[in-house]
A and B are shown apart, each in its own frame.
Chain A
Amino acid sequence: MTDDEGKNETPETPSLEDRTTKSGRLPGNRYVKLYRAPGFRRRGDRYVADEELLESASRLGRAYETVRRFLLGRRLSMEAEETERLSVFTGLAILGSDNISSSAYATEEAMRVLALAGMGAFVFLTPIAIAIVGVLAIVILSQSQVIQAYPNGGGSYIVTSDNLGTMPGLVAAAALLIDYVLTVATSTAAGVYAITSFVPDLQPDAVPIGLAFIALLMVGNLRGVREAGLIFAGPTYVYIFALGALILYGIFRIVTGDIPPAAVPPNPFPQEGEMSLAGLAGSLLVLRAFASGSVGLTGSEAIANGVPSMQKDERRHATITLVLMGATFAVLFLGLTYLAQTIGTIPDRLEAESLNSLVTRSLVGMSPFYYLVQGSTAVILALAANTGFTGFPRLASVLANDRFMPRQFAYRGDRLAFSFGIVALALASALVLAVNQGSVTKLIPFYTIGVFLAITLAQTGLVRRWRRLRSPGWQWRAMLNGLGAVVTGLVLIVVLIAKAPEGAWLIVLIIPLLVALLFSIHRTYMRTQDALVIERLDEEVPLMRAPVVIVPVGRLDRATARAVAFARSISPAVRAVHVSTSEESSREFRKRWDAWAGRVPLDVIESPYRSLVPPLLKYIDRIGERDPDKPITVVLASFVPHSWWEWLLHSQTALRLKASLLFRPNTIVIDVPYHFDEDREDHRHDR
């Protein structure tokens, strides 16, 4: 390590750090110069790459970086993960907005079904609302058990696969993935519907507005979960307080006997319905109304799925958020239902104006408060989609870690968000929204099946878990989750039967297909893993025989000379091959090659049909057949021009050949690049 002469120590293999001992002016004065490569910080036995290494040197790269930083913010290191957590305040906005926002349309969805039997059928509205809140209470109690049992982020997939096996777990995962996509599409459509309710001129542009909302949510979420929470918290609380105030004002007017006349929608349902409430058909209609109103239960699983995104003491924070979410939904949903029924509001047949808008208009007219309620409803409905953006990427990352989804879903982006999952969700939901022309009614039948299936499976899994562990109090826990499983299972059956004719069957068909896809991805990964795994770490690394090196040469230039020099450095068995299109050019090339000092054996192939790559590939095949045990190494000389547009002026034969050799067994392809700047440098030295 020391060098008293003051010369630099030259390690055999270059490393990221270096220590050079130098002598001072006075005898015995010595000091050590420490060199560390900039951008790498040592932490014990490893190096940590600094943020500065990610900075681009090119102008284009820097411009991209500026735009990226403007949209997504500065990069966050893994150490910042602790700060990227949700408090109860932001958690309720981020994870609870889906469930809370359902209160804006759950009443209307139930009323639209009951309206088919005429206005008289609305007497069932309050019992249905109470039943839905009852189911929600059971679901919330059961979900709190999921939080306690799986504080590291259970989610229905983990809970189910842990207790019922991989296949049911994948069914739950598939159901949830579909549901998250539908959450985003439906919530966005509902948000746009709320906007077009008070700005009807925007109705023809509903789909583009919806797509813009999704893009906005995508960018917001790519900025990281904490920032998304801060961005989205405001509108959620404005909605809660605005609707809460409206309900209190409505109750006050009803109690004081000042019941306002109901606002009339542009296309009201007729007084007399086309269906009868009597008999089986009537019972089915009530069940369908319950199923439609059950959309209000969606999003109740989001908090249990996202426990790890909560601040420290995750279980406690998640449980508080869960209870607050359920209570908020219940108050708003029951309040709105009570007001709609008491005032006598009738929903619009053609979805031209929402029930929420009608109730608000009945109570406060077209006052500024009306715009506040409608505006905040529109925003929270669109932001409810954010629950999907929180759930989908996290679930996809868990599935990717278990090798059921592509690995890219497990990578965290610059802001610690699962960027790939966020972008994939945005694309999928945008497609669903566009295909369904942004209609809430068209999307609702597909909705809720996935979430109820996943909750039912998770609850059943927990019953099995409590029975297996038999920890103190296991009986009441098992009973609670058993009740949850039965209730959500029943709701699932009701929803399935009631919504099958409207298209719910499609989800029943897609779930097994998605499960099959997840399985096939898993099989592929496992096959690759089996092929690549090193079974014994003490196994000697086998010595490879020196390869047969083939250097395809187009012309004799500096790039070729460098490739040949490199080829000779890795093996004594080097052959160059040149494909020419005429006898004359063959002769010419041979003459120059023979005169060149750095020559290696050359084969010239004449290709009268002017084809370059196929004769080269066949040549490589034939050489390989001569000694199949030796690997073939193809060394490609490639000229790298100064700028990207100059690149277009070159034929890219090396690139085409590389692509053709990509899947050829026992073949190593080495690129020897020759940069334009090096070329100039060499010329300068020559002079």
Chain B
Amino acid sequence: MQPKRILVALAGTSADPDVIRLVAWVAKPAKAEVVGIHVIEVRWNLPLDAVMEPELDRGEELLESAKKVADQAGLQLETELLQARDAAAAIVDTAVERKCDLIVVAMPYRKRLGRVYVGRTVQNVYVNAPCAVLAYRQEENK
């Protein structure tokens, strides 16, 4: 598979730099366009377009650092900041809007009740995305 447009979902976890390097490795030979998005989830007691300064600042910062990592990896990364009730739906909708043929999601290694835990967002993207999905799970010792 030679993806032409890749969407990478960034959550601000320690897995972000790894997944950007991975995307660079996939995208560069295919000369694919890459867009990195971060979705701010809005609680139901707030309007969808509520101004949430701390989250915005954090979002901008993490996208900025993602750009730096991408620069170092020789990847041109376009970034976008979104606000939605459900991050997974927004990721899938953006991928559809942008005609992406691959969504890359990352998850840090974490356990709940003794089992490796895959978050709700990753699961929902997997289930609902019409395009290919690549999930990157961080290795255990990180």
Instruction: List A residues at the B interface (Cβ < 8 Å).
Output: 1-2, 19, 21-22, 24-26, 29-34, 36, 41-42, 44
Which among A1, A21, A24, A34 is the interface contact of B89 at CB below 8 angstroms? A24
User: In the complex, which residue of chain B has the Cβ closest to the Cβ of A26?
Assistant: B89
The 8 closest A-B pairs by CB, nearest first: A31-B84, A24-B93, A31-B90, A32-B83, A34-B81, A29-B89, A32-B49, A1-B49
* Given A25-B96, A36-B60; A31-B89 close (CB under 8 Å): yes
User: Cβ of A25 and Cβ of B82 under 8 Å apart?
Assistant: no
- Rounded to whole angstroms, the CA-CA distance of A644 and B40 in the bound complex is 47
User: Cβ of A22 and Cβ of B89 under 8 Å apart?
Assistant: no
Whether B48 sits at the interface, judged by CB under 8 Å, is yes
Query: B82: which A residues are within 8 A, CB to CB?
Result: 31-34
Which among A22, A34, A44 is the interface contact of B93 at CB below 8 angstroms? A22
User: Cβ of A42 and Cβ of B84 under 8 Å apart?
Assistant: no
User: Cβ of A41 and Cβ of B60 under 8 Å apart?
Assistant: yes
Query: A30: which B residues are within 8 A, CB to CB?
Result: 48, 84-85
User: In the complex, which residue of chain B has the Cβ closest to the Cβ of A52?
Assistant: B64
User: Cβ of B56 and Cβ of A42 under 8 Å apart?
Assistant: yes
Whether B97 sits at the interface, judged by CB under 8 Å, is yes
User: Cβ of B48 and Cβ of A21 under 8 Å apart?
Assistant: yes
Q: How far is the CB of B136 from chain A (nearest CB, A)?
A: 23
Q: How far is the CB of A224 from chain B (nearest CB, A)?
A: 25
Whether B77 sits at the interface, judged by CB under 8 Å, is no
Whether B80 sits at the interface, judged by CB under 8 Å, is yes
User: Cβ of B90 and Cβ of A24 under 8 Å apart?
Assistant: yes
Which among B83, B86, B92 is the interface contact of A34 at CB below 8 angstroms? B83
- Rounded to whole angstroms, the CA-CA distance of A32 and B56 in the bound complex is 12
User: Cβ of A32 and Cβ of B48 under 8 Å apart?
Assistant: yes
Q: Can you give 25 contacting A-B residue pairs, CB < 8 Å?
A: A1-B49, A19-B49, A22-B93, A22-B97, A24-B89, A24-B90, A24-B92, A24-B93, A25-B92, A26-B89, A29-B86, A29-B90, A29-B93, A30-B84, A31-B39, A31-B89, A31-B93, A32-B49, A33-B80, A33-B81, A34-B82, A34-B83, A42-B56, A42-B57, A44-B53
User: Cβ of A2 and Cβ of B97 under 8 Å apart?
Assistant: no
Q: Secondary structure of the A side of the interface?
A: strand
User: Cβ of B84 and Cβ of A32 under 8 Å apart?
Assistant: yes
Query: B85: which A residues are within 8 A, CB to CB?
Result: 30
Give residues of chain B (89-104) contacting chain A, Cβ–Cβ below 8 Å.
89-90, 92-94, 96-97
User: Cβ of A42 and Cβ of B53 under 8 Å apart?
Assistant: yes
Q: How far is the CB of A120 from chain B (nearest CB, A)?
A: 75
Q: How far is the CB of B46 from chain A (nearest CB, A)?
A: 12
User: Cβ of B49 and Cβ of A2 under 8 Å apart?
Assistant: yes
A-B contacts besides A22-B97, A31-B83, A41-B57, 17 pairs, CB < 8 Å:
A1-B49, A19-B49, A19-B83, A21-B49, A24-B93, A31-B82, A31-B84, A31-B89, A31-B93, A31-B94, A32-B84, A34-B40, A34-B83, A41-B60, A42-B56, A42-B57, A44-B53
Give residues of chain B (51-87) contacting chain A, Cβ–Cβ below 8 Å.
53, 56-57, 59-60, 80-86
Query: A2: which B residues are within 8 A, CB to CB?
Result: 48-49
Query: A32: which B residues are within 8 A, CB to CB?
Result: 48-49, 82-84
- Rounded to whole angstroms, the CA-CA distance of A41 and B39 in the bound complex is 18
Query: B40: which A residues are within 8 A, CB to CB?
Result: 34
User: In the complex, which residue of chain A has the Cβ closest to the Cβ of B94?
Assistant: A31
Q: How far is the CB of A559 from chain B (nearest CB, A)?
A: 36
User: In the complex, which residue of chain A has the Cβ closest to the Cβ of B84?
Assistant: A31
Instruction: List B residues at the A interface (Cβ < 8 Å).
Output: 39-40, 48-49, 53, 56-57, 59-60, 80-86, 89-90, 92-94, 96-97
Query: B48: which A residues are within 8 A, CB to CB?
Result: 2, 21, 30-32
User: In the complex, which residue of chain B has the Cβ closest to the Cβ of A34?
Assistant: B81
- Rounded to whole angstroms, the CA-CA distance of A29 and B39 in the bound complex is 14
Q: Which of A26, A31, A34 has the most CB of B within 10 A?
A: A31
- Rounded to whole angstroms, the CA-CA distance of A335 and B72 in the bound complex is 59
User: In the complex, which residue of chain B has the Cβ closest to the Cβ of A32?
Assistant: B83
Query: A26: which B residues are within 8 A, CB to CB?
Result: 89
Query: B60: which A residues are within 8 A, CB to CB?
Result: 36, 41
Q: How far is the CB of B25 from chain A (nearest CB, A)?
A: 26
Q: Which of A1, A21, A24, A32 has the most CB of B within 10 A?
A: A32
Q: How far is the CB of B76 from chain A (nearest CB, A)?
A: 14
- Rounded to whole angstroms, the CA-CA distance of A177 and B40 in the bound complex is 56
User: In the complex, which residue of chain B has the Cβ closest to the Cβ of A36?
Assistant: B60
- Rounded to whole angstroms, the CA-CA distance of A550 and B40 in the bound complex is 53
Q: How far is the CB of A585 from chain B (nearest CB, A)?
A: 54
- Rounded to whole angstroms, the CA-CA distance of A2 and B83 in the bound complex is 13
Query: B39: which A residues are within 8 A, CB to CB?
Result: 31
- Rounded to whole angstroms, the CA-CA distance of A32 and B81 in the bound complex is 9
- Rounded to whole angstroms, the CA-CA distance of A19 and B86 in the bound complex is 17
Q: How far is the CB of B69 from chain A (nearest CB, A)?
A: 17
- Rounded to whole angstroms, the CA-CA distance of A21 and B94 in the bound complex is 12
User: In the complex, which residue of chain B has the Cβ closest to the Cβ of A2?
Assistant: B49
Query: A31: which B residues are within 8 A, CB to CB?
Result: 39, 48, 82-84, 89-90, 93-94
User: In the complex, which residue of chain B has the Cβ closest to the Cβ of A24?
Assistant: B93
Query: A24: which B residues are within 8 A, CB to CB?
Result: 89-90, 92-93
User: In the complex, which residue of chain A has the Cβ closest to the Cβ of B87?
Assistant: A31
Q: How far is the CB of A44 from chain B (nearest CB, A)?
A: 7
- Rounded to whole angstroms, the CA-CA distance of A496 and B85 in the bound complex is 81
- Rounded to whole angstroms, the CA-CA distance of A22 and B91 in the bound complex is 12
Q: How far is the CB of B75 from chain A (nearest CB, A)?
A: 18
Query: B96: which A residues are within 8 A, CB to CB?
Result: 25
User: In the complex, which residue of chain A has the Cβ closest to the Cβ of B59?
Assistant: A34
- Rounded to whole angstroms, the CA-CA distance of A44 and B92 in the bound complex is 31
- Rounded to whole angstroms, the CA-CA distance of A44 and B56 in the bound complex is 11
Q: How far is the CB of B38 from chain A (nearest CB, A)?
A: 10
Query: A34: which B residues are within 8 A, CB to CB?
Result: 40, 56, 59, 81-83
Query: A44: which B residues are within 8 A, CB to CB?
Result: 53
- Rounded to whole angstroms, the CA-CA distance of A33 and B40 in the bound complex is 10
- Rounded to whole angstroms, the CA-CA distance of A19 and B47 in the bound complex is 13
Q: How far is the CB of B7 from chain A (nearest CB, A)?
A: 14
User: In the complex, which residue of chain A has the Cβ closest to the Cβ of B80?
Assistant: A33
- Rounded to whole angstroms, the CA-CA distance of A26 and B89 in the bound complex is 9
Query: B90: which A residues are within 8 A, CB to CB?
Result: 24, 29, 31
- Rounded to whole angstroms, the CA-CA distance of A205 and B53 in the bound complex is 62
- Rounded to whole angstroms, the CA-CA distance of A224 and B16 in the bound complex is 36
- Rounded to whole angstroms, the CA-CA distance of A30 and B93 in the bound complex is 9
- Rounded to whole angstroms, the CA-CA distance of A22 and B90 in the bound complex is 10
User: In the complex, which residue of chain B has the Cβ closest to the Cβ of A45?
Assistant: B53
Query: B81: which A residues are within 8 A, CB to CB?
Result: 33-34, 36
- Rounded to whole angstroms, the CA-CA distance of A663 and B49 in the bound complex is 50
* Given A19-B49, A31-B83; A25-B93 close (CB under 8 Å): yes
Query: A29: which B residues are within 8 A, CB to CB?
Result: 86, 89-90, 93
